[in-house]
Amino acid sequence: MPIKVLIVDDSALVRKLLTEMLGRDRDIQVVGTAADPYAAREKIKQLNPHVITLDVEMPRMDGITFLENLMRLRPMPVVMVSSLTQHGADVTLRALELGAIDFVAKPKVDIAGSLGDYAEELIAKIKVAAKARITARAIAPRIGTMQIDPRRSADAVLPAAAGPRVLRTTERIIAIGASTGGTEAIKEVLVRLPPDAPAGRARRGRAPVRRSTGRRAAAAGRAPGAARPVPRPPTCRARCRSPPPTARTPPAA
């Protein structure tokens, strides 16, 4: 009996690619797709799938909220398929905490050309998820929402551990530009960034010097490629050599 899979993703392109990708495996049958959790709820009632592939960012309801409701009302195997479910990300840890079996990170660029590279991984995880037995359980609240007396918290007893920071990529670029005299301002911004900030590159340029061509330089007695001489204003000595103005003789009365 093939594994019946329901694909839940707001992107029509991703739904089409996942349907074709999973349909190539004889042990998997894509029984339906849904563009948001509300449509997925109705498809679950109608199709009774064995496994769901679930996106995170969707209209009307996000995938994490839907996963929490699903595990409380109708538990079933779920594999998260999203660009946000990276290894070690908060979204991934929360999904696993709520009961997701596993996750696959979608490529952030060139989905049509590179999503097929994850076919083998996704098919293997769907087959593992289909063998899982999911039961309803109480979802523990996140630690950040619990009210704990500060005097009895772990921070009051144990020193805070400096763990490694997990950097997320947003594929956004911040460009800072400055004209002449603004390099010190850019320096003040860069030195205040944290040491583990994503690296960037700065480029400094200046206005090019106009250089004369070979013919004009030869006519002027200069070497080709030499900069044009800047005309200098006349010196005081040169001005003083000019003859004084002739005095006018007043007309006779």
> pLDDT tens digits for the chain (253 residues)?
899 999 999 999 899 999 999 999 999 999 999 999 999 999 999 999 999 999 998 988 999 999 999 999 999 999 999 877 666 678 888 888 899 999 988 877 677 777 778 888 899 999 999 998 887 655 555 544 444 445 444 444 444 444 444 445 555 677 777 766 666 777 777 777 776 666 665 565 555 545 545 555 555 565 555 556 655 655 555 555 555 555 555 666 5
Task: Please list the alpha-helical segments (H only) found in 78-224.
Answer: 90-98, 111-114, 119-130, 183-190, 214-219
Cβ-in-10-Å burial (0-12, 13-18, 19+) of 172 comes to exposed
pTM: 0.55
Q: How far is CA 252 from CA 25, 246, 249, in A?
A: 122, 18, 9
Model pLDDT, residue 165 = 47
CATH topology classification for 3-130: Rossmann fold (3.40.50)
At 161 the pLDDT is 46
Q: Do 88 and 112 contact (CB within 8 A), yes or no?
A: no
Distance separating alpha carbons of residues 153 and 36, to the nearest angstrom = 40
